[in-house]
Amino acid sequence: MTLQLSLFCVKTRAVTVEDLAMKVLVVGSGGREHAVCTAFSKSSRVNHIFCASGNAGIAEIAECIDIKPTEIDRLAAFARTGKVDLTFVGGETSLALGIADEFNAKGLPIIGPGSAAARLESSKSFAKAFMMKHGVPTATYVVAASATMAIRSLEEGEMGDESTPLVVKADGLAAGKGVVIAANRQDAVDAITKMSDLVGAEAAEKIVLEEFLSGNEVSLMMFADGKDFALMPPTRDHKRIGEGDTGPNTGGMGTITDSSLLSDSEIREITDTMIRPTLLGCIDEGMPFRGVLFLGLMMTSSGPRLLEYNVRFGDPETQAILIRLDTDLVDICEAMIRGTLYETPIYWQEGSSACVVLASRGYPGRPSTGDIINGIDDARMIDGVEVFHAGTARDVDGQVRTAGGRVLGVTATGPDIDAALKKAYAAAEKISFEGMQYRRDIGKTAGAR
C-alpha cells in the first residue's frame, strides 16, 4: 500500500465533455461551507450547486434549500430526486448521525466518513483509546464514567497533585465549548461540576481528564480515500476571543497558512507517528477513512502530540486553505470516492494566506444579530481577497445583515504571511457593522518558531 504525501506544486487535470454538468450539494451554512461552495463554483465540471441551508454569501453562488444538516433522510431524498452527483458534508453533526452511511447505502456519492470513523471526533474517549491502541503520541489521560468519578480520580491523585494543571474535556460533541484548561485541581473540579450545564448532559456524560501540554499549536488536514492521503498546507487557528490569546474559546477567530508552521522533518514525523497509524488503524477496525481528516497538534519540546481528531474541514481553517487550492475540488472528491488519490496531483498556490473573522458584539456568548453590514463589495475589490460569509442573512429589502456570532471570514493570499495579513486587514477595515469585533493579532506568531 502506498500512502501519498502530496504537497505544494501547481497544475490541473483535463476534463471530458460528459463531466461538465455536475450538480453538487454542500451540507452546512457557515464560512467553511461558503469556501467549499466557492471552490465548487470555480470548477469547470459543476453547473449547479445546492446548499443546505446556506447563508447570504452562499446564496450568491448556490441554490439554498431549507433542510437542516441533521435531517439525514430529507437530505438523501433531495439528493436522489434532485439527481445530485456529489454531496460534500461540512460539519461533524451530520457525520456523527451517519449521513455518509445513509448516502452510501443508497448509492449516492458523498464525501465524509461513516458514523463509525466519525467517532474519532464525536467521542473523545473513543479517540484517545484509538490513539493508544495504534501508538499515536498524545497527552496521558483518564476517562471517567461520570462527573463524580472524575472528581474522585482527581482526589485520588491520578492526574498529579493539587497544583498540577490539567485539561477537562466533555466526551461528546460540544461545538468547541467542551474543553476547559484548569490551572490546578480546584479549577478542574469546578470545570467538571459545570460541564453538564455548559455542553448538555449527554455530551458531558463521560469526562476525559488530560495532561496539560505546552507548545505551539498547529492543525494539519488531509484528503483521504480510505487508504491513501494528500496533505493540505498546515494552518494555525486562533481560538480565543481576545488578542494575545485571552478570554473564552470561540469556534476560531482567524487562521493562517504558512510554511513556517511545520518543517519538512516535522511533517515526516507526524506522517510516520500519526497519519499512517491512524489510517491503517481505521482499516484494521473496519472503518477505512474517506473524507477530510484533521489533526489538532501540539508541538511540544518532546515532539508532536495529537490533541484531537476532527473528521471534516476546520472552520475557519478551510477558508485560508481553499483560497490557495489550484486543483479542481471535484477532481479531488472523485479521487477520494474512487480511491485514486495516489494518482491525483493536487496543487496549491505558492505563498501564504490569512483569514480574519469579523464577529458580532457579544460573541462567543449570545451574539447580537440583525445589524446591517456595509462594505463587503469594497473589501472584495482588493486583489487576492475573498470575503466568506458565515452568520449572514439577506433581508426582504436585499440588505445583508448579521445572523450569528461569526459573521464574515475576510481571507487573502500573498507571497508571504505578512503580505497576506496586510491584505486581509486592509479588506477588513472596509467592512463595518454595529458591534463588529475582530482580533488584530492573527498570525503574529507565525514566523516565531
Residues contributing to the site for ligand AMP (CB under 6 A):
139, 167, 169, 179, 181, 210-213, 217, 239, 296, 307-308
Q: Does 121 bind ligand GLY (CB under 6 A)?
A: no
Distance CA 127, CA 133 (A): 10
Q: Which is nearer to ligand GLY, 109 or 314 (CB)?
A: 314
| Cα–Cα nearest to 3, from 339, 310, 413, 359 | 339
Least separation in angstroms between residue 165's CB and ligand AMP is 8
Stretch in the footprint of ligand GLY (CB under 6 A) among 51-59, 122-130, 136-144, 311-319: 311-319
Min dist. Cβ of residue 298 to ligand AMP (A): 6
Q: ∠427-429-433 over CA atoms, to 5°? A: 115
- Residue 75 partner contact from ligand GLY, ligand AMP, none using kind-dependent CB cut-offs of 5 to 8 Å: none
Is the distance from CB of 149 to CB of 143 less than 8 angstroms?
Answer: no
Instruction: Select 307 or 431, whichever has its Cβ closest to ligand AMP.
Output: 307
| Contact predicate 359/405, CB 8 Å | yes
- Closest approach of Cβ 115 to ligand AMP, in Å? 19
Distances from the Cα of 366 to the Cα of 119, 180, 403, angstroms: 29, 19, 11
Only one of the segments 285-293, 308-316, 396-404, 440-448 lies at the binding site for ligand GLY (rule: CB under 6 A); that segment is 308-316
Q: Is 120 or 213 the residue whose CB approaches ligand AMP more closely?
A: 213
Asked if residue 314 binds ligand GLY (CB under 6 A), the reply is: yes
308 binds, among ligand AMP, ligand GLY, none (CB under 5 to 8 A by kind): ligand AMP
Query: Pick from ligand GLY, ligand AMP, none: which does 307 bind, CB < 5 to 8 A by kind?
Result: ligand AMP
Cell matching residue 128: 484517545
For residue 416, the partner it binds in ligand AMP, ligand GLY, none, with Cβ less than 5 to 8 A by kind, is none
Pick between residue 306 and residue 321 the one whose CB is nearest to ligand AMP: 306
Binding mask 249-288 for ligand GLY (x = CB under 6 A): ---x------------------------------------
| Residue 355 · residue 319 · CB < 8 Å | yes
Tell me the closest approach of the beta carbon of residue 35 to ligand GLY, in angstroms: 12
Map the footprint of ligand GLY across residues 179-238, applying CB under 6 A. 237
33 lies in the site for ligand GLY, by CB under 6 A: no
The residue within the footprint of ligand GLY, chosen from 259, 310, 349, 411 (CB under 6 A), is 310
Query: Which entry of ligand AMP, ligand GLY, none binds 314, CB below 5 to 8 A by partner kind?
Result: ligand GLY
Backbone Cα Rg of the chain: 21
Task: Note whether 29 binds ligand GLY by CB under 6 A.
Answer: no
Q: Are 228 and 4 in contact (CB under 8 A)?
A: yes
Rounded-to-integer distance, Cα 59 and Cα 443, Å: 30
Nearer to ligand AMP, 296 or 435 (CB): 296
Q: Which residues form the interface with ligand GLY (CB under 6 A)?
A: 237, 252, 310, 314-315, 317
